[in-house]
Amino acid sequence: MLEDLEELVGCESFSADHEAVARSAAVVADQGFRRLGARPETIVIDGVTHLRWTFGTPRVLILGHHDTVWPIGTLERIPWSLTDGIARGPGVFDMKAGLVQAFHALAALPSPDGVCVLVTGDEEVGSPSSRALIEETARECAAAFVLEASADGGALKTARKGISIYELVVHGRASHAGLEPEKGANAGIELAHQILAINGIAGRVNGRPPGVTAAADGARAAGTPPGSLGPATVTPTALFGGTTVNTVPALAHVSVDVRVPTLAAQERVDELMRALSPRLAGTRLEVNGGPNRPPLEEASSAALFAVAQRIAADLGLAPLTGVGVGGASDGNYTAGAGCPTLDGLGAVGGGAHADGEHVIVSEMPGRTALLTGLVQAVLR
C-alpha cells in the first residue's frame, strides 16, 4: 500500500493544470488495473479527466478524487517521505491515501460485482465538470462511500453543511463627488445597506430573535455539541466598488459565503437573498449565484454509520465516532441525489491543504478492512 501511495503522490495533479490531471489519471488507472484486474473508462469533460470502473450492475458507489490543491512543483519543496510511521507529500492525506485504500479494499472482495468506482479530477474546485456524472451514478446505487480523509482522530463524516455562493451587484449612477454628488446614485452606500441586510439573513433562518446580532450565530456554532453541524451562516466576504476618489461609485459588489445544515435552510436563504431590495433611489440590485452543494444531512448517513460501527467492532478497531463538518465534498452531491452516503472513510492523519499534510500509515490497513466490510454488507 505504501508503494502505491508513493506512486500516486509522486505524480502531481493540481486541479487547474488539466495536463497534470490527465497524467495523474493515467497513473491512477494503471494502479487500479493492477489491483482490480480491469481498465477504467476514461471520461474527459471540459478538459478534465475522470475515471470510472463499473462491475456488473452497480449498487455501491466508491467515490474519490485524484486532483489536489497543490501547484506543480510543490513536490520539490515537500517531497514524499515516510518517517516514524508518518507519510508526507502533496495530496497524501487529501486524498491519495483514500484511493489506495479503496483499491486494496475492493481487491480483498471475492468479486467486485455490483461496485462502481468513480475517481474525479476536479473536486478541489467544486466539481464543475463531474457533478452530473456523480449524481447520475449515485441515483442508481444503494450506498455511496466517500474516500475523503477522516476528521480529527479518524472520525467519519456523517454530515456536511451545504454551500451556496452568491455575488450581489449594486448598480448606481456615477457623478462628480465634488461638483454634483447629488446627481449620482451611490452604489457604495447602497452596498453598505445590503451588507447589513445580508448579515441578518442567518438570524431569520436560524430563528434568532430580532435585535440580536449575527455574532450570536458564531457563539451558537462555538457551543454546538461535537458532531453536529450548528446553525446556518451567511457571511459577506470580498467586496469591491468605485473607480476614483472623486467619483460617486456607479458599481459595487460583494461575495457571500453560505453554509447550511439542511436543505430547507438552503432554500430559505436563497429566497431571502433574492428578496433583497434597494434602499436608495436610482440604484438597482442584481443577485447572481445560488446553491452550489446540497447538505449531506445526518439522516443520509445514519444507517450506514451504524453498520460501520458494528464492522469496526468485529474487526477489533477502535470505536468509530462520527462528526458533522462545515466543509463540503462530492458526498454532498451523492446525498443530494438521494443516495445514502457515508463520508470520511479515507486516510487518518491531518493537515489537509497545508504544509503539514500527513497520513498515519498504521491506520491504513484497518480503514481498508472497514471499507471491504461495508461494501460486502451492502451487497448482501
Question: What pLDDT band is residue 225 in, cutting at 50, 70 and 90?
Answer: very low
- State residue 118 phi and psi, 5-degree precision: -120, 120
At residue 37, the pLDDT reads 97
Task: Round the average pLDDT of the chain to a whole number and report it.
Answer: 95
At residue 326, the pLDDT reads 87
Helix pair 298-315, 364-379: axis angle to 10 deg: 120
pLDDT(227) > 70: no
Average pLDDT, integer, range 312-327? 95
pLDDT(239) > 70: yes
Say if CB 255 and CB 292 are below 8 A apart.
no
**Alpha helices for the chain (secondary structure H):** 2-9, 18-36, 74-77, 97-107, 131-138, 187-199, 201-206, 215-222, 263-274, 298-315, 331-336, 364-379
At residue 209, the pLDDT reads 52
Rounded Cα–Cα distance for residues 305 and 308 (Å): 5
194-210 tens-digit pLDDT? 999 999 999 999 986 54
Question: What pLDDT band is residue 221 in, cutting at 50, 70 and 90?
Answer: very low
Q: Go through the domains of the chain in sequence order and give each one's CATH number.
A: 2-160+295-379 (3.40.630.10), 162-293 (3.30.70.360)
Average pLDDT, integer, range 364-376? 98
Q: Which cell is 46 given?
A: 471540459
Report in angstroms the alpha-carbon separations of 21 from 2, 24, 38, 119, 299.
Answer: 21, 5, 21, 11, 34
CA dihedral sign of residues 155, 161, 162, 167: negative
Residue 157: beta bridge partners?
323, 343
Average pLDDT, integer, range 207-236? 62
In three-state secondary structure terms, 294 is: coil
Whole-structure pTM over 0.75, yes or no? Answer: yes
Average pLDDT, integer, range 87-96? 98
In three-state secondary structure terms, 133 is: helix
Q: Which residues have CB under 8 Å from 124's CB, separation 6+?
A: 15, 65, 67, 68, 69
| Residues above pLDDT 90, as percent of the chain | 93
Q: Which cell is 94 given?
A: 487529501
Report in angstroms the alpha-carbon separations of 290 from 110, 263, 273.
Answer: 45, 13, 9
Classify burial at 73, counting beta carbons within 10 Å of its beta carbon; exposed 0-12, middle 13-18, buried 19 or more: exposed
Report in angstroms the alpha-carbon separations of 277 from 38, 205, 282, 283.
Answer: 57, 18, 12, 10
265-303 tens-digit pLDDT? 999 999 999 999 999 999 999 999 999 999 999 999 999
At residue 222, the pLDDT reads 45
Q: What number of other Cβ atoms are within 10 A of residue 362's Cβ?
A: 10
